[in-house]
Structure 1
Amino acid sequence: MRSIIFFDIDGTLVTEDARAIIPQSTREAIKLTRQKGNLTFINSGRTAFNISPRVKELGFDGYICGCGTYIEYGGEVLFSRTIPQEECRNIAELMRKCRVTPVYEHSEGYFFDDKAPIADGLKEFMEVFVDSGIDISGRVEDNDFGFDKFVIWTTQDSDMELFRREIGKNFSIIDRGGGFYENVPLGYSKATGIEMVLKKLGISIDNAYAIGDSANDLPMLEAVPNSIAMGGAENIYPYVSYITSPIEEDGIKNALLHFDLI
């Protein structure tokens, strides 16, 4: 019976620093497990357009993106959910009232708000995109404005009481630390993405594996019986069934070896 492995990206497949290293052992391990007949999936909070070619070229059978709001398998989109545009525009107006810095994430691009305060986090975010050649021209005034999920940075003037009260009605608010929040429509997560994929492909949960390195991976890790923490990610050690070595010490390869996936 073939198995299926769900991978986080940053800190799991790629070092989470300016070097953005993908270890050669990781490349080899993913190739070997696929040759063995196992399926490999990205499971990321990133929306689909923001999965870099460097990651895609590792070789994946499918992608769960935007915290379960988009699912692709074998080049075919199995599921995609974008928030209705009227609701998107209402949220954009609310974010202005909350005086936060939003980035609206769609499966095909990002949208920015020039009327929002400019947080330092946004500056860094946009610099990375410019360096990567990613289009940052999308604005909330555009006719095609819409999003699947969104993130915000707070400032000292932000009204977080209003934000939590109103956004909490329809979104899971994930505190990523440092005044940065990821907001995902209720009913969607890395875990619901896994559930949809397993049902679609007819794979038993017993043959599902997930590998991550941070607290935002917990829904994915807790959704499967075979959960793996990257070495050095001490904060999630209590929640996983196996702890592998750090990413640059053959972490992915050693995890797949441990579970006889290569």
Structure 2
Amino acid sequence: MKKIAFFDIDGTLTSEIDGSIPESAVYAIRAARANGNLMFINTGRCFQNVEQRFRDVGFDGFVCGCGTDIYCDGAEILHVAQTHETVMKLLLAAREWDIDILFESRKEVAFDLARPLRHPDARRQYEAFEERGYEMPEHLENPNFFCDKFVLWFEHPEQLAGFRTTSDRYFECIDRGGNFREFVPLGYSKATGLNYVLDYYRIDKKDAYAFGDSNNDLPMLTALTNSVAMGNASPATLFDKVSYVTEKASEDGIRLALEHFGFI
């Protein structure tokens, strides 16, 4: 019977130490595919930000943007975007509360640079995108600008609370730790994306497996009986919500789990 596995990227497919892709993970994913199984990325990243090095591993498809953009066998089968009007409400709220906001879509990422980025992690992310050669639009008021989802950095809790009086009408807020939050359209998650793919291929949930390491993986980890937390998962409470805890990503965690579940 064909099985399918869904992998988060950061801290799951990549090493928690340096962000590299362990060779053992590449080998195991390719071997699992060679055995007739389906391998999918299931990430909060939008498709444009799924770097070529991840695509080169070899996957049958991608669930991107926490279930808002899905690709199977090279074809896009679902895309859910926000309207420009909604994006402008979010932009004005971020400016009102002096928050660093990063809009994400399947084609681009864009910071609001109307004023200098405040949070050091936001500045580091901007610099990382520059190093990758990403073209980031700066004129966000352009009527053709939209997003699929977004993330933000704040300095004080009251900033987040104030911003959410606007965002909660449209988005779910996911706590990613510290002063960083991820926002996904209401009704969408890594679990809804996973279910969409299972319906597409007519695969039963008992033959599906999810791999993750953080809070935004929780919907897909709890949606399946077969769920895997990486040994480096944070918060540690994830360990109590999965069926199997493997080693850290940097310590052959993916290979060991795929062996454990009979993929290879």
Confirm or deny a common fold (TM above 0.5).
Answer: yes
How much has 1:162 moved relative to structure 2?
A: 2.3
Distance 2:109 2:152 in 1: 13
Q: Identity of paired residues, percent?
A: 42
Distance 1:250 1:162 in 2: 42
The answer as to whether partners of 1:110 and 1:138 remain within 8 angstroms in 2 is no
Distance 2:159 2:94 in 1: 9
Distance 1:159 1:32 in 2: 47
Q: Which runs of 5+ in 1 are unaligned?
A: none
- 1:169 alignment partner in structure 2: 169
How much has 1:71 moved relative to structure 2?
A: 0.3
Distance 2:5 2:202 in 1: 14
TM normalised by structure 1 equals 0.95
- 1:218 alignment partner in structure 2: 218
Distance 1:111 1:14 in 2: 24
* Structure 1 runs (4+) greater than 6 angstroms displaced: none
141-150 or 32-41, larger mean C-alpha shift = 141-150
What are the Cα deviations for residues 81-126 of structure 1, in whole angstroms up to 9, with x where unaligned? 1101122122211221122111111110012212245122211001
- 1:64 alignment partner in structure 2: 63
Measured on the aligned residues, the alpha-carbon RMSD in Å equals 1.6
Distance 2:92 2:249 in 1: 41
What are the Cα deviations for residues 136-164 of structure 1, in whole angstroms up to 9, with x where unaligned? 34431334210001111113496333222
1:1-262 equivalences under 5 Å are 1-17=1-17, 19-116=18-115, 118=117, 119-156=119-156, 159-233=159-233, 234-262=236-264
TM normalised by structure 2 equals 0.94
Distance 1:170 1:208 in 2: 30
Paired positions, count: 261
How much has 1:235 moved relative to structure 2?
A: 3.3
139-148 or 122-131, larger mean C-alpha shift = 139-148
The answer as to whether partners of 2:14 and 2:20 remain within 8 angstroms in 1 is yes
| Equivalent AA in structure 1 for residue 58 of structure 2 | G
The answer as to whether partners of 1:29 and 1:252 remain within 8 angstroms in 2 is yes
The answer as to whether partners of 2:14 and 2:250 remain within 8 angstroms in 1 is no
Q: Which runs of 5+ in 2 are unaligned?
A: none
Distance 1:11 1:159, change over 3 A: closer
Distance 1:31 1:160, change over 3 A: closer
Distance 2:57 2:262 in 1: 20
Distance 1:117 1:173, change over 3 A: farther
The answer as to whether partners of 1:102 and 1:116 remain within 8 angstroms in 2 is no
| Equivalent AA in structure 2 for residue 253 of structure 1 | R
| Equivalent AA in structure 2 for residue 250 of structure 1 | D
